[in-house]
Amino acid sequence: GVNYKNIKLEEKTNYRIAWINRESPLNPLNMETLEEIDNVLGLEKKETTIIAGMNKAFSAGADIKNFLQMKESDAFQFAAGGHRIMNSISSYPFPVIAAIHGYALGGGFELAMACDIRICTPDAQLGLPEVTLGIVPGFGGTQRLKELIGEGNAFYLASTGMRITAERALQMGIVNEIADKVVERSEEIASRYAELPPVSLRLIKSLIRKIPDEGFQDEIDAFAEVFGTEDHETGIKAFLEKKKPQFKGR
C-alpha cells in the first residue's frame, strides 16, 4: 500500500476512514494533504469514506505560513489544484462524510463542505476567516456555502469571517447532526450505506451534488486576484505576528 505522510488511512470492512494527521495540532492543510485524500478516493475499492481529524481539530484551514511567499500565479495554481480535489470528492461515486471536531475553518471548512454529510461535535466552530487575512475562500467555499444554505447566510459568514457554533451551524443547515462521538456516529451512517444499493447511492449523489462550473472558475480567479493586493500581505503578516491588521484598500 501507499505510505501517507499527512493522513492515516484506516480500512474497515465496508468503509474507510481518512484521518487528517498533520504535525501541528490544528491540522493545517497543504496541497500534499489534499493530494493524499485524493489518492484515497482513487483507490480501486470504492466505498463510503469518512474524513476526520486527529489532534485538536478537523482542520483550521490552509497553512497560513505558506501564503507569505505566494504570488498571483502561484495562488491561481493553488486554488485550481484545490478545486480539482474538492471536485473529486463531490464526484466520488460513494458518500463522503466529514466527522468534525474542534475547528473547521477556511480550507478545512471548504473540505467539509465538499463532503456529502457533515457531523460535528457540540464544541465545534466553523467559519470562513479568509476575509480577515485579506484574501478570499479559494477551495470552492463561496459556491458550496451558497448552494448549501443560500445567499443570505453564505454572505453573512464569508463577508464577516465570524466563526459559528455547532448549534448555529445545525440551525443554518451547514451540519446534518451534532454528536459527541462524531467518528462513531459517522461509522454508523457508513454501515447503513453499506447495506443500501450502491447504484442508487451513486445516482442520488450525482443528482443532488451538481454545482455550475462558472462560479468555481470565478472563485479561482478571485483567489489569484487578492494575492496581487497589499492588503493580503498586511492580513497574513498580522495573523502570524498576532497583531490587528490595518487594511489600506489596495
**Identity of the residue, 28 or 95, whose beta carbon is nearer to ligand CO8 in the bound complex:** 28
Q: How far is the CB of 79 from ligand CO8 (least distance, A)?
A: 6
Cell output for 12: 474497515
Q: How far is the CB of 197 from ligand CO8 (least distance, A)?
A: 35
CA distance linking residue 190 with residue 95, whole number of Å: 8
Shortest distance, position 61 Cβ to ligand CO8, whole Å: 3
Phi, psi torsion values for 87, nearest 5 degrees: -70, -30
Residue of minimal CB distance from ligand CO8? 106
Q: Provide the β-strand partners of residue 240.
A: none
Please pick, among 36, 47, 130, 219, the residue that the annotation labels catalytic: 130
Question: Quick check: is 110 catalytic?
Answer: yes
Residue number, 62 or 157, with CB nearest to ligand CO8: 62
Binding site for ligand CO8 (CB under 6 A): 26, 28-29, 60-65, 82, 103, 105-107, 129-130, 133, 137-139
Q: Is 32 a catalytic residue?
A: no
Q: Which residue has the cell 459517522?
A: 186
Strands 117-120 and 48-53, sheet pairing: unpaired
CA distances from 191 to 12, 101, 120 (A): 10, 21, 18
Active site members: 110, 130
